[in-house]
Chains A and B, each alone.
Chain A
Amino acid sequence: MRYAETGVNLEVDLSRGSVERVKTDPELTRLHLGGQGTAAKILWDRVPPEVDPLDPENLLIFSTGLLHSTLVPGANRTAVDTFSPQTGRYSHSLFGGFFGPEMKYAGYDKFIFCGKADDLVYVWVNNDKVEIRDAGHLRGKGAQETALILKEEVGDPHAQVASIGLAGENRVYLASIEHANSSASRGVGVVMGDKRIKAIIVRGTKDVNVAQPKELAEIGIPMYKEMYDNKECGDSMAHGEGDEFHVDNFAWGNARARRKNFFSKEMEEEWVSLEDRLRMRWTGCHNCPKDCHQAIKYPGRMPYFQKCYSKLTYAMGAFGDLDFDYNIIGITQEYGMDAYSTPQVIAFAIELYEAGILTDKELPDFPLFDREDSDGIKVNESRFFYLVEKIARREGIGDILANGVYAAARQIGNGAEEYDHNTIKKFEQVPIKLNYVNYPYFLMYATGEKMNITQIEGSFPQAPIADKAEREEFVRNWDAAPERFKKWFLAWEPRQNPSLEASVHICDWNEAMHYIDDAIGTCAFLSSFRGQFGGRPPYHIYNLPAFITRASGIELDSDELWEVSRRNRNLVRALNIRRGLRRADEKPPADHWKKREPENEQKLLDMYYEFKGWNNDGIPTRETLDRLGLDYVSEDFIQRGILVEGEDDLS
């Protein structure tokens, strides 16, 4: 019997219209645990670099995490993995809610889609029964509108739906996949649209078994209370407290300027009262006691769920206000557009217009700015509404902007490239502009492959503690941290960088925890993202092995768990190396920090690569790959001339 997992993947070939249930190799679960890890293995085996992301041969994989549907609270994040047409490289996104758990109850660890349907379809997975159905009647429908129609259509209110809106249908690169209270972005929505999948609806009524029932319940059941009582986990910034942090520290407009001390007491009062009026309820994801999502009813809009920083991304991009943000998300979520990158693309276009690079010819009937704000800055809310419509429909200039800032800047030309200042590896980054280079963050931005800093940072605190006694107290209770980090944190003074050596380890630990979460399905807000504020994540490297072993029967300790994350991390790196990623690509946005230390930054990269067992160009060496059991990768690298046999460590 397979424990925690089902041992079955669902393969759907949309070109042939065929469906197959395929048994998986338990050895792969032992090596990668599941989720992103096993998805990376499938992408490696089946999607060679010659395949363009918009070729039918590209795969779109929905993965449950190993711990989904067990009594381990907060394991519900579904991973979506593919190759992105925006970056040409590996694309990975996670969404919360209820979809992955339902997949498992239907009897599947993964849904693997290949090929392309002739026209829009939806896939109905009802336990063993799987149908590819025509979705002509859903064309142009909103993502949640689609979910409601489909639940009605299949007659099952308990079914879970993942769908795309207009943006995905139109192959907008910024398209998201929407589900219940969550969404996946960063290149996965466009591939779903390209495969002509409007929606997937799943319903499952099968058991998911665990290996050590009593022992798992003993540690699983108390976690509900522990997590609920722990105020430093979940989206602790969602409940109002995060507004000041984001408003004062993140950059406005086209990722330009910080407005320190912009947030005021009056704003806070006004915002809290607005949210109280708009919010129907706080809600959570499957089997998790935290309530990180607001159900919002904005007048005239379909009710939607707001999470994380999206309540400010549009407002700050447009120099607008909170009401505007809640208003426009009502549209963009139905269109299925990523709330991080979309506002940046639009703010970029508005700057081009102001600079005369885009004109009324490209933007016919482009609205005037709405008003000037208290600092005399132009507010661009109407322009945002205008451009959202153009992009979602790929209409006029929207057809270019829909490719993201990097590609659009080059297509528009005429100096537009200068305005693309906040992308790396062709992808929009969180708009943060700071003063002095931060060593661990330099490494995370440069070498991370999850494309958004929030998916890379998170275990080591963002800032030191000034007071020595407080610092010591913090370290004393820091169960989540390996010993070496306690020493480094104790030595860390304000306005200093941790040492180069410490920074290398910090980057490694931070990303390791994300690779673990993304394999087992636990939410970053309970684990990999949450240590950086307060240092008390409910899940960490020391207590996770027991949950994994008792649920799945896979025996492993903390070191072995870290080794799995290393394996998955190197396999993901290999996917991108095979598609051309090299050291030259590994840099933060040029203006992310005003004051840089080029020499130390290169030293950091050297040290990090060496620590990771990568050569000077950032390519995992044969020795590293073979030690991790990825010898099929090193063989491929040698065959392709990416590594040279015998001298790979020197190249």
Chain B
Amino acid sequence: MVTVEDCSKKRIVKEIKVDLDKCIGCRACEMACSGFHAVPKFSSTNPARSRIRVIVEDRKDVYVPVRAGDYTPAECNGRNTYVINGKEYSECSFCTASCPARDLFKAPDSGLPLRCDMCADDPTLPVPMCVQVCRSDTLTYVEREEESREEVTYDEVESGLESLANRYGIDKVADLVARISRTKS
């Protein structure tokens, strides 16, 4: 992805490590996640609303917990099959996307995409819910500091401009951009 460089600084990277060999397929992570994100909190559970799903093909010994990532409007035009330790995994088993090819990570009623927010809450949970209930240690939570280049993507610039254009009209926005570009150059 093309990026626009802004500035460099440290940031906390939150990561959930997944050890596929340890998963017992209990799907407690789905229960805890959907409960936590219910409104009011814990008022209901529903794996279909969970932002983590365990992809299970039990006769092939495939157990893969996957967290919901970004929404994508298109499905892949080609998919890979991975063989790891003699077991065959479809690329979809590892893919975090909410996409048209499958019903994962879409709210059951509205169809709106679901995305893992690492249980961002007020106050923030020390450990995300799915990790808290995963006693087999398939999921472990890691926080580390990372030098990062704060990135602004063209996508974000574009959608920002688009919403400004929708609100104020494209002419006004074009004038504004022209004026700013004169002062910056």
Are A71 and B42 neighbours in the complex by a CB distance under 8 Å? yes
Within the assembled complex, what's the spacing in Å between the Cα atoms of A305 and B56?
Answer: 14
Are A207 and B41 neighbours in the complex by a CB distance under 8 Å? no
- Asked if A286 lies at the interface with its beta carbon under 8 angstroms from chain B, I say yes
Contact partner, B24, options A214, A227, A284, Cβ 8 Å? A284
B18: chain A residues at CB < 8 Å are: none
Are B59 and A71 neighbours in the complex by a CB distance under 8 Å? no
A281: chain B residues at CB < 8 Å are: 21, 24, 61, 63
- Asked if B28 lies at the interface with its beta carbon under 8 angstroms from chain A, I say yes
- Asked if A224 lies at the interface with its beta carbon under 8 angstroms from chain B, I say yes
A285: chain B residues at CB < 8 Å are: 26
Are A73 and B24 neighbours in the complex by a CB distance under 8 Å? no
Are B49 and A291 neighbours in the complex by a CB distance under 8 Å? no
Chain B residue with Cβ nearest A73: B28
Chain B residue with Cβ nearest A214: B42
CB distance from B26 to the nearest CB of A (A): 4
Are A181 and B44 neighbours in the complex by a CB distance under 8 Å? no
Known: A207-B45, A213-B38, A228-B135. A181 touches B58 (CB 8 A): yes
A642: chain B residues at CB < 8 Å are: none
B132: chain A residues at CB < 8 Å are: 221, 224
Within the assembled complex, what's the spacing in Å between the Cα atoms of A105 and B44?
Answer: 11
- B 21-64 binary contact with A (CB < 8 Å = 1; else 0): 10011111001100100101111111111000101111111010
Within the assembled complex, what's the spacing in Å between the Cα atoms of A224 and B108?
Answer: 27
Known: A73-B28, A291-B24, A303-B61. A207 touches B49 (CB 8 A): yes
- Asked if B133 lies at the interface with its beta carbon under 8 angstroms from chain A, I say yes
- Asked if A148 lies at the interface with its beta carbon under 8 angstroms from chain B, I say yes
A423: chain B residues at CB < 8 Å are: none
- Asked if B136 lies at the interface with its beta carbon under 8 angstroms from chain A, I say yes
B57: chain A residues at CB < 8 Å are: 157
Within the assembled complex, what's the spacing in Å between the Cα atoms of A281 and B21?
Answer: 8
In the complex, the number of residue pairs spanning A and B with C-beta atoms less than 8 Å apart equals 111
Interface residues of A in 206-258 (CB under 8 A from B): 206-210, 213-214, 216-217, 221, 224-225, 227-228
B25: chain A residues at CB < 8 Å are: 283-284
A280: chain B residues at CB < 8 Å are: 61
Are A221 and B48 neighbours in the complex by a CB distance under 8 Å? no
Within the assembled complex, what's the spacing in Å between the Cα atoms of A157 and B102?
Answer: 10
Number of chain B interface residues as a range: 35 or more
Are B26 and A284 neighbours in the complex by a CB distance under 8 Å? yes
Within the assembled complex, what's the spacing in Å between the Cα atoms of A156 and B104?
Answer: 11
Within the assembled complex, what's the spacing in Å between the Cα atoms of A157 and B60?
Answer: 13
A29: chain B residues at CB < 8 Å are: none
CB distance from A545 to the nearest CB of B (A): 19
CB distance from B58 to the nearest CB of A (A): 6
Contact partner, B43, options A156, A158, A209, A227, Cβ 8 Å? A209
Within the assembled complex, what's the spacing in Å between the Cα atoms of A322 and B23?
Answer: 26
Chain B residue with Cβ nearest A288: B26
- Asked if A93 lies at the interface with its beta carbon under 8 angstroms from chain B, I say no
CB distance from A192 to the nearest CB of B (A): 21
Are A295 and B61 neighbours in the complex by a CB distance under 8 Å? yes
Contact partner, A221, options B26, B133, B136, Cβ 8 Å? B133
Within the assembled complex, what's the spacing in Å between the Cα atoms of A409 and B128?
Answer: 60
- Asked if A282 lies at the interface with its beta carbon under 8 angstroms from chain B, I say yes
Known: A224-B135, A287-B26, A303-B61. A105 touches B40 (CB 8 A): no
Chain A residue with Cβ nearest B21: A281
Within the assembled complex, what's the spacing in Å between the Cα atoms of A221 and B132?
Answer: 8
B31: chain A residues at CB < 8 Å are: 71, 287
CB distance from A105 to the nearest CB of B (A): 6
Known: A157-B57, A214-B41, A283-B24. A71 touches B46 (CB 8 A): no
Are B28 and A288 neighbours in the complex by a CB distance under 8 Å? yes
Within the assembled complex, what's the spacing in Å between the Cα atoms of A221 and B28?
Answer: 10
Are B28 and A224 neighbours in the complex by a CB distance under 8 Å? yes
A297: chain B residues at CB < 8 Å are: 61
A144: chain B residues at CB < 8 Å are: 59
B35: chain A residues at CB < 8 Å are: 71, 213, 217
Contact partner, A213, options B42, B49, B103, B108, Cβ 8 Å? B42
- Asked if A146 lies at the interface with its beta carbon under 8 angstroms from chain B, I say no
Are B45 and A70 neighbours in the complex by a CB distance under 8 Å? yes
- Asked if A69 lies at the interface with its beta carbon under 8 angstroms from chain B, I say yes
Known: A213-B38, A221-B133. A207 touches B44 (CB 8 A): yes
Are B40 and A213 neighbours in the complex by a CB distance under 8 Å? yes
- A 365-390 binary contact with B (CB < 8 Å = 1; else 0): 00000000000000000000000000
B38: chain A residues at CB < 8 Å are: 207, 213
A284: chain B residues at CB < 8 Å are: 24-26
A158: chain B residues at CB < 8 Å are: 47, 53, 103
Within the assembled complex, what's the spacing in Å between the Cα atoms of A70 and B63?
Answer: 22
Known: A206-B46, A208-B44, A210-B42. A302 touches B108 (CB 8 A): no
- Asked if A554 lies at the interface with its beta carbon under 8 angstroms from chain B, I say no
Known: A225-B135, A228-B135. A206 touches B28 (CB 8 A): no
- Asked if A534 lies at the interface with its beta carbon under 8 angstroms from chain B, I say no
B53: chain A residues at CB < 8 Å are: 158
- Asked if A613 lies at the interface with its beta carbon under 8 angstroms from chain B, I say no
Are B24 and A69 neighbours in the complex by a CB distance under 8 Å? no
CB distance from B154 to the nearest CB of A (A): 36
- Asked if A180 lies at the interface with its beta carbon under 8 angstroms from chain B, I say yes
- Asked if A49 lies at the interface with its beta carbon under 8 angstroms from chain B, I say no
A303: chain B residues at CB < 8 Å are: 58-61
Within the assembled complex, what's the spacing in Å between the Cα atoms of A515 and B48?
Answer: 31
Within the assembled complex, what's the spacing in Å between the Cα atoms of A295 and B59?
Answer: 8
Are A208 and B26 neighbours in the complex by a CB distance under 8 Å? no
CB distance from B79 to the nearest CB of A (A): 15
Are B46 and A105 neighbours in the complex by a CB distance under 8 Å? yes
Are B27 and A286 neighbours in the complex by a CB distance under 8 Å? yes
Most buried by A among B26, B41, B46, B49: B26
- Asked if A205 lies at the interface with its beta carbon under 8 angstroms from chain B, I say yes
Chain A residue with Cβ nearest B20: A281
Closest 4 CB pairs of A and B: A228-B135, A205-B48, A213-B42, A207-B44
Seen from chain B, the residues whose Cβ lies within 8 Å of a Cβ on chain A are 21, 24-28, 31-32, 35, 38, 40-49, 53, 55-61, 63, 103, 108, 132-133, 135-136
Q: With A207-B46, A208-B46 given, can you name 4 additional A-B contacts, CB distance below 8 Å? A: A157-B55, A210-B43, A286-B26, A291-B24
12 residue pairs bridging A and B, Cβ less than 8 Å apart: A73-B28, A156-B103, A206-B46, A213-B44, A216-B42, A217-B35, A221-B32, A224-B132, A227-B135, A228-B136, A289-B136, A303-B58
